[in-house]
Amino acid sequence: MSRSDTTLPSPHKIVVANWKMHGNLARNHTLVDGYLQGLKSLSQADVVICVPYPYLAQIQSLLSETHVAWGAQNLAKYEEGAYTGEVSAGMLCDFGAQYVIIGHSERSTAYCESDENIAEKFMMAKRHGLTPILCVGETLLEREAGVMERVVGKQLETIIRLFGGEAFANSIVSYEPIWAIGTGLAASAEQAVAMHQFIRDTVSAADKSAADTLKILYGGSVNPQNAVQLLNQQEIDGALVGRCSLNAEQFIKICQAVPENSVV
């Protein structure tokens, strides 16, 4: 069975904006207006905006009558309780979030998040019907040492060991080489495709039908120029975009790089 024969929530490639810790009420409004203007004539890609927690209510009111979805950049691994400063999956759902980024390297390195912690967050998102966008990727040293597949494999295997391969059904993995994030140095299409194949094979070995419904994105210095080649690869189901998502014109150009009639 080919991947396009399976029942996916959406057959489109997906472009996710990660605003990181940027924005304010006025700037967000202008940026979203710019997105919506440019996206009017775009039907070949699904678009998601992941915003800082305080702006979930604002993004809900700006996007609820549109075809653009929204999400958060992290969530707590607990349902609720005495966890000062944490935000639960249920709270994200209260604001209409459908997606949540999990295990972004800017969090896992700064806050020492273990693969086990990330796996628990992944499952918490799933239990609440949120689509997790799991970030995986290697450092430059690891790539130079040729151990990038071992590193990414371990990140995936932790979820498989704790929750089984079926956890990946209808989920998203974003391959984000740490050396490419925010550096202006994106992975080549060949490097990205090789890792995407490895990710799908790893999940498929644990659960073939889950792997068929998994979307695998590329993230790391995606811009309007390199997006054309990256998003034309059959193995690349979309992009996670940081810096260029803060500029509506550039973000729209990245979305437009998704080929017409492409299906994942």
**Cα(222)–Cα(228) distance, integer angstroms:** 10
Find the binder of ligand PEP among 23, 165, 238, 242 (CB under 6 A): 242
241 contributes a contact to ligand PEP by CB under 6 A: yes
What is the H or E stretch that residue 101 is in?
Answer: strand 99-102
86 catalytic residue (yes or no):
no
Burial class (CB in 10 A: 0-12, 13-18, 19+), 38: middle
**Residue type for position 126:** K
Smallest gap from Cβ 239 to ligand PEP, in A, equals 8
Q: Which residues contact 216 (CB under 8 A, 6 or more apart)?
A: 172, 173, 174, 175, 196, 199, 200, 235, 236, 237
CB under 6 A: which stretch of 125-133, 163-171, 236-244, 254-262 binds ligand PEP?
236-244
Ranked by CB distance to ligand PEP, the top (closest) residue is: 242
Smallest gap from Cβ 176 to ligand PEP, in A, equals 5
Smallest gap from Cβ 181 to ligand PEP, in A, equals 4
- Residue bearing tokens 């024969």: 5
Q: Which residues contact 70 (CB under 8 A, 6 or more apart)?
A: 48, 49, 50, 51, 56, 59, 60, 63, 96, 97, 98, 99
The active-site residue out of 106, 120, 142, 176 is 176
Smallest gap from Cβ 230 to ligand PEP, in A, equals 12
Report 206-225 residues binding ligand PEP (CB under 6 A).
Answer: 219-222
Nearer to ligand PEP, 87 or 246 (CB): 246
The active-site residue out of 12, 104, 138, 142 is 104
Q: Which residues contact 257 (CB under 8 A, 6 or more apart)?
A: 224, 227, 228, 230, 231, 232
Smallest gap from Cβ 80 to ligand PEP, in A, equals 28
Report 158-177 residues binding ligand PEP (CB under 6 A).
Answer: 176
Smallest gap from Cβ 84 to ligand PEP, in A, equals 26
Nearer to ligand PEP, 102 or 124 (CB): 102
188 contributes a contact to ligand PEP by CB under 6 A: no
**Cα(201)–Cα(139) distance, integer angstroms:** 21
Find the binder of ligand PEP among 51, 89, 181, 187 (CB under 6 A): 181
104 catalytic residue (yes or no):
yes
**Cα(239)–Cα(174) distance, integer angstroms:** 8
18 contributes a contact to ligand PEP by CB under 6 A: yes
**Among the listed residues 235, 163, 168, 237, the one whose alpha carbon sits nearest the alpha carbon of residue 208:** 168
Supply the residues annotated as catalytic: 104, 176
Contacts with ligand PEP by CB under 6 A lie at 18, 20, 176, 181-182, 219-222, 240-243
